[in-house]
Chain A
Amino acid sequence: MAHKFAALGHPIQLAARQSETLDAEKTDLQLRYGVPVTLHEFDALLMETHAQFLAMLPELPEVAVSVVGLMGSQERSERDHLLASCIMRSNYEGPANILALLANRFEERGSGTLVGLSSVAGERGRATNYVYGSAKAGFTAFLSGLRNRLAKRGVHVVTVLPGYVATKMTEGMNLPARLTAQPSDVAERIVVAVKRKNDVIYVRPVWRMTMLIIRLIPEGFFKRLRL
């Protein structure tokens, strides 16, 4: 994602936990695209630090992308309520909190784009990942509300609902090749969405149809499916 934006000449601010581990990425981006790159310590779960984090940025960005997410183990989170809560907060509260702060600043400025990576898993709760899915559902609703609120204030919000993406999160899982995107596909799609001011994007078009169908299945029938 950073590569695609840097290639367009955007200065890049990378925020992460243990941001010093991104030193090589920083140099790489600078060498390839000749744009300024800065690293910032950020933990989505430490919400009390978010205001301070924003205050420390060298400048308020034009585009802010939240990719924060945690899949966790559904099975374990059924027994371990601390883990369940951590998954819920990592996918919803944390990202929503930082985007809310950014939204206010963007609104003041009268411009900017917020991008949130949610998931098709939030479109309907399924036995195999409803803890994660429910948090993504919350996040999707939050983004939609934010977009509605800011539509007339010059601030745009993009909701990204990727299907399967081949990343660290899905490593070792047996994903169907036809439905699986590469991270660079997702990034490419997001750059386009930011430019065209798209609202909700699926990365691979098949997902829009698939999710429509999944949403339409009557609950009485759905509950007996194994998905």
Chain B
Amino acid sequence: MKLSGWGRSPLVDAQVSVPRDLEALQKLLASKPSVIARGCGRAYGDSAINSSATIDMRRLNRMLAFDPKTGQLIAEAGVVLCDIIAAFLPRGWFPMVTPGTKFVTLGGMIAADVHGKNHRKHGSFRGCVDWIDVIGADGSIQRCSSKSHVELFEHTLGGMGLTGIILRAAVRLRAVETGWIRQTTIPAPNLKSAMTALERAQDSTYSVAWIDCLGTGGNLGRSLVFLGDHANASDLPTYRSLHPFATPAKRKLSVPFNFPCFALNRFSLRAFNSLYYRVGVWNRGQQLVDWDSYFYPLDAVADWHRIYGRKGFAQFQCAIPLNRSEEGLSALLQTVAKAGAGSFLAVLKRFGPQESRFSFPMEGYSLALDFPITTKNSHLWPNLDRITIEHGGRFYLAKDSRMSAETLRASDDRVGSFVQMRAESGWKSSFQSAQAERLVL
């Protein structure tokens, strides 16, 4: 069947199997020369595609144990984050780290070592992972953690499925008193003030800035900065505090067809962007926001990726080290603004320190931009890549669908040892994705 990531490009003809138990999974491993695991397919590009054997893990999705004292959940890798929240938020638990969509699997979160709006404070997903059971090409299962089989553990976190198949994992959830977030919105007229607001926000659990990409000159980097903390029971109005985890049911919107490309020209974007900015200015100050609207605003629009039209879209996400961030970000934003290719989502996050074998985050700033795939935009990529590399930055593989092997190597000096590790451990021949092939990993 035709398979793609969330960006709907590239489309690859791939054989997909859906094992329903461990035995079926082991049989697949024994019969296929190379495989790649796939979760919900929320990575944007070709990370979870192997044309001859893609293994859809979503049937291996049982929750196996929960310890209400420590908040440790043991579950199979195919469990979806929204089910974890549905089961445990009513009991006072929330994920430690969550990406911007709840339709991701536990395996996918580990493999991409995802980050949330709290990276600065709590680091990436690895911080809540106690151990992982990884199944190798020979069908044997290794339990790895920061204490045993350390290399397997370290490379599996952020290893994009290229070290084996994650079968189960033990992850810790965070105790929360309510399902609500206290949000503060700060309008920032330009990049510098957005960064200052983020720098000052070190006490907030969550922080993120939404950037209007079409701002130029003095408006370059015009943003809304959103800070957030889990609300305590006492923060809620009385009528809510009786049911602190109940949040209003949302109407599900959907995008039923592919938008024609012209719907997204710079004028409609400009209107969209400045409207959003106004709303933010009206809403400045504190608000209570339910967890679903706060963390997963895009999930409310099913299939929103169709808004970018049939050709699909690509996301650009880079991280730039702290000391070069301001310079690098302005150069990136200037390039985008000049091209008039402003995207719906331009998201700026402040990352805290992180040491890891192959995970994406590093201390500094991360910028994510979406673009519809058009010829015009394809000229933009090399420039964005170059600026990122010049400023010592690197790229997020979970968002990548188009980078070259050379660009990756120029941006990340860990590639060599990752590739060597893959060769030495025999992972290279057994676990292979279209992305890994393109990037020669």
Contacts and interface: CB of A to CB of B under 8 A. Distances in A.
B279 interface: no
A24 interface: yes
B20 A168 contact: yes
B20 A32 contact: no
Nearest to B87: A32
Residues of B in contact with A, size category: 10 to 19
Contacts, number: 22
B106 to A, nearest CB: 13
B62 interface: yes
B271 interface: no
A34 B83 CA distance: 13
A207 interface: no
B83 A32 contact: yes
B64 interface: yes
Interface string A24-56: 110110011110000000000000000000000
A33 B87 contact: yes
B28 to A, nearest CB: 12
Interface residues of A, number: 9
Given A32-B83, A32-B87, A27 B64 contact: yes
A28 B86 CA distance: 13
Interface in B97-143: none
A206 B20 CA distance: 28
A34 to B, nearest CB: 8
Interface string A6-29: 000000000000000000110110
Most buried by B among A31, A32, A33, A34: A31
B432 to A, nearest CB: 24
B249 interface: no
Contact of B62 (A28, A33, A34, A168): A28
A34 B86 CA distance: 11
B117 to A, nearest CB: 26
A31 B63 contact: yes
Contacts of B65: 27, 31
Given A27-B62, A31-B65, 4 more contacts: A24-B64, A28-B64, A31-B87, A32-B86
7 contacts: A24-B62, A27-B63, A27-B64, A32-B87, A33-B87, A34-B87, A168-B20
Interface of A: 24-25, 27-28, 31-34, 168
The 4 A-B pairs with the shortest beta carbon distances in the complex, nearest first, are A28-B62, A31-B63, A32-B87, A28-B63
